[in-house]
Amino acid sequence: MLAIVITYIIGGLTRGTVLYGLTTVIIQMNNKTALIKYNLTKGVTSLLSVACLLGSIVSTLLAPKLIGKIGKTNTLRFVSFLSLVANILIFPAIHWAYLFVFKSIAGFATVLLITVVPLIGVEQLDPKIRGVVGSLTNVTLQGGMFISYIIQYFISSQDRFYPLSVVLPTILSIAMIGMSFIIKERKQEVSETTNTVVVQPNITKINIWQKKYTKSFIVAISLGMSIGATGSSPILQYSTLIFKNSFNSPKSGTIGAIIMSGISFIAALAALPVVRRYKRKTIFTIGLNIILCCYIIMITVMYVKPAKKVSDAIILATTIVFIISYAFSSGSLFFVIMGEVFPPQIKSIFVNMSMAINQLTLLITTFIFPLLKQQENYIIYFCWVVLVEALIIKFVPETHNKLLSQIEFEMIPNNETNIIASSDSTAQFVLEILPSILTSRLERCRIQTAAYIQQ
């Protein structure tokens, strides 16, 4: 179990440092030689800013086939080596196209990294600690961002610190390679209630377009939108601009980024015991409702237009509340629920679907933010979060302290009545179908009894 926990931590740190560290440091660094070589125009800068996200989207599309063919641990080893290569080769200041290619590869590797780790971990962790361990992904991701902004602070004044932006992700990639050879994948899943071996089908041969997987589709979409729809990334970036415009200091924007990412990191840490003790959906909906209140306050301030200092103070305070609420809802629970909720036979497919939608919505919200007025962005985010919350309340089952087999029963509806209706022969029903129905009901009662005794 310790190896799995360490793997979660390294995976989150790698993603945080690569996505935010390399994006903000390498593109915006005060290294004149590199800037001349890259020939950075506004269009090129925008393209480089989304390079990691584009690589991430490609990663989520290819991941199910890759995992299905070579397995989870082999996939983890492959992307760990790929992340190491990308982090080393991204360093030379050759041309912006060269940087774009290796930033995309780095994004591809790191998103696949934090996708496959929960797939390995969730099947081996006790239900009582699954939530805490899953939340570590968000904690370490926020920690990676925090460290990256600190590195950026030093690089902004001293060019000689530039290699720091590559050293940390490289060390993390090497550590992940080591962990990929320590943790073991379950080749066969053992039933949590009967101790019998359950052989999982080949995911590359599963037809996910069956009616029984409709709920999984809806859950994958709603969870995938739960992070990007909040506009957390552009809102955090805007809060750093307030620092930059309010304080007459060349480093005020970077200091603001350090402060806000530090608050986000502390909030993610504080969410760990809450996720362990309380129901997932309850925490999720409370957090999203507070986020909706934050939107209303910011929209009102921007339309009323009070004095600039008053406006900045209200928006900063509201953003801090937003960050804390985000850490307790979408930030932590996205990774937790995504790893728990999908049935084992289709888990990797729908987990990657959620990650793809997550990266796509992040790309959309980040892209449209500078094109629209801020209040217009917040109105869009408000409507989007209302939709996401409605879908989560309606379709996402409660997973707190539940066995994976119990969650599977809730995700795949019972088709027994359909079987009875389609039977043409009474004899066939009595001799074949009725015994299977009774067996199914007895198995369900036994699972529920075992879960009750365990609690």
- Model confidence at 85, pLDDT cuts 50, 70, 90, reads confident
The per-residue pLDDT for 163 is: 66
User: Cα separation of 192 and 187, whole Å?
Assistant: 15
**CA-based nearest residue to 143, from 5, 19, 244, 227:** 19
- DSSP label at residue 345: G
Tokens of 23: 């994006």
pLDDT of residue 183: 79
Check whether residue 218 and residue 172 sit in a common domain. no
Residues 220 and 137 in one domain: no
Q: Quick check: 233 pLDDT over 80? A: no
225, 388 Cβ separation under 8 angstroms:
yes
Q: Which of 359, 374, 402 is the last residue of a domain?
A: 402
Give the end of a domain, one of 127, 152, 187.
Answer: 187
Separation between Cα atoms, residue 378 and residue 231, nearest integer Å: 8
Q: Helix 96-121 vs helix 332-341: angle between axes, to the nearest 10 degrees?
A: 60
- The DSSP-derived string for 382-416 is HHHHHHHHHHHHHHPPP-TT--HHHHHHHHS---H
219 and 305 belong to one structural domain:
yes
The predicted pLDDT at position 309 comes to 83
* Same domain (yes/no): 375, 421: no
- Tell me how far apart the alpha carbons of residues 163 and 151 are, in angstroms, rounded to a whole number: 10
Which residues, 6+ apart, have CB-to-CB distance to 384 below 8 Å?
225, 229
Which of 78-82, 163-167, 208-212, 416-420 shows the lowest per-residue confidence on average (mean pLDDT)? 416-420
| Tally of structural domains, the chain | 3
- Is pLDDT at 27 greater than 90 in this prediction? no
Does any domain span residue 91?
Answer: yes
Q: How far is CA 382 from CA 243, 314, 326, 443, in A?
A: 25, 18, 14, 44
pLDDT above 50: residue 393: yes
Same domain for 175 and 150: yes
d(CA 175, CA 165): 17
Tell whether 277 is covered by a domain.
yes
Same domain, 95 and 145: yes
- Tell me which of 152, 187, 222 is where a domain ends: 187
Q: Read off the DSSP letter of residue 183.
A: S
For residue 159, the model assigns a pLDDT of 58
Same domain, 12 and 82: yes
What integer pLDDT is reported at residue 419 of this predicted model? 36
Domain assignment present for 207: no
Structure confidence at residue 451 as a pLDDT band (50, 70, 90): low
Task: Give a yes or no: residue 103 inside a domain.
Answer: yes
Q: Which domain holds residue 183?
A: 1-187
Check residues 199 and 407 and name the one with the higher pLDDT. Answer: 407
**Token code pair at residue 370:** 């500078």
Select the highest-mean-pLDDT range: 88-92, 275-279, 425-429: 275-279
Confidence category of residue 250, pLDDT binned at 50, 70, 90? low
What number of other Cβ atoms are within 10 A of residue 318's Cβ? 19
Predicted confidence at residue 262, as pLDDT, reads 87
For residue 106, being part of any structural domain is answered with: yes
Q: How many CA atoms lie within 13 A of 441 on its CB side?
A: 7
User: Average pLDDT over the chain, rounded to whole?
Assistant: 74
pTM of the model: 0.72
Tell me: do 379 and 299 sit in the same domain.
yes
Q: Look at residue 445 in the predicted model and tell me its pLDDT.
A: 55
**pLDDT of res. 421:** 36
Tokens of 166: 């590559």
Q: Does the structure show a pLDDT above 50 at 243?
A: yes
Q: Say which range, 267-276, 369-378, 424-433, has the weakest mean pLDDT.
A: 424-433
Q: Indicate which CATH number applies to the domain containing 40.
A: 1.20.1250.20
Give the number of other CB atoms < 10 A from CB of residue 144.
27
Least confident stretch, 244-248, 265-269, 309-313: 244-248
Question: Using one digit for the tens of pLDDT, what is the confidence trace for 322-376?
Answer: 988 888 888 888 878 887 888 877 777 888 788 888 878 887 887 777 778 888 8
Give the rounded percent of residues in the chain with a pLDDT score beyond 90: 5
- Do 418 and 447 fall within a single domain? yes
Asked if residue 79 lies in contact with residue 374, where contact means CB atoms within 8 angstroms, the answer is: no
Q: SS3 of 92, please?
A: coil
**Assigned domain for 149 exists:** yes
Residues in the chain, overall count: 455
Token pair recorded at residue 2: 């310790």
pLDDT at 300: 93
Q: Are residues 244 and 392 in the same domain?
A: yes
pLDDT digits (tens, 9 = 90+) for 273-303: 887 788 888 888 898 999 999 999 999 998 8
* Residue 65 CB contacts under 8 Å (≥ 6 apart), including other chains: 204
Structure tokens at 83: 């992340």
Task: List pLDDT tens digits, range 183-230.
Answer: 776 654 444 444 444 444 455 456 667 778 888 888 888 888 888 888
394 and 421, same domain (yes or no):
no
| pLDDT at residue number 161 | 61
Q: What average pLDDT score do residues 244-262 get? A: 74
Domain shared by 274 and 379, yes or no? yes
Domain-embedded: residue 319: yes
Report yes or no on 201 lying in a domain.
Answer: no
pLDDT of residue 293: 94
Q: State the CB neighbour count (10 A cutoff) for residue 255.
A: 16
The closest alpha carbon to 396, from 211, 209, 221, 244, belongs to: 221
Give the C-alpha separation, 153 to 161, whole Å. Answer: 10
Query: If you ran DSSP here, which 8-state letter would residue 91 be given?
Result: -
- Residue bearing the bigger pLDDT, 405 or 239: 405
Residue by residue, DSSP assigns 25-45 as: HHHH---HHHHHHHT--HHHH
Which value, in Å, is the radius of gyration of the alpha carbons in the chain? Answer: 23
* Among 202, 62, 77, 183, residue whose Cα is nearest residue 123: 183
Residue pair 212/413 in contact (Cβ under 8 Å)? The answer is: yes
Through-space distance between the first and last CA atoms of the chain, rounded to whole angstroms: 21
* Most confident segment among 5-19, 22-36, 102-116, 198-212: 102-116
Dist CA 359 CA 15 (whole Å): 13
pLDDT of residue 423: 36
Per-residue pLDDT band at 382 (split at 50, 70, 90): very high
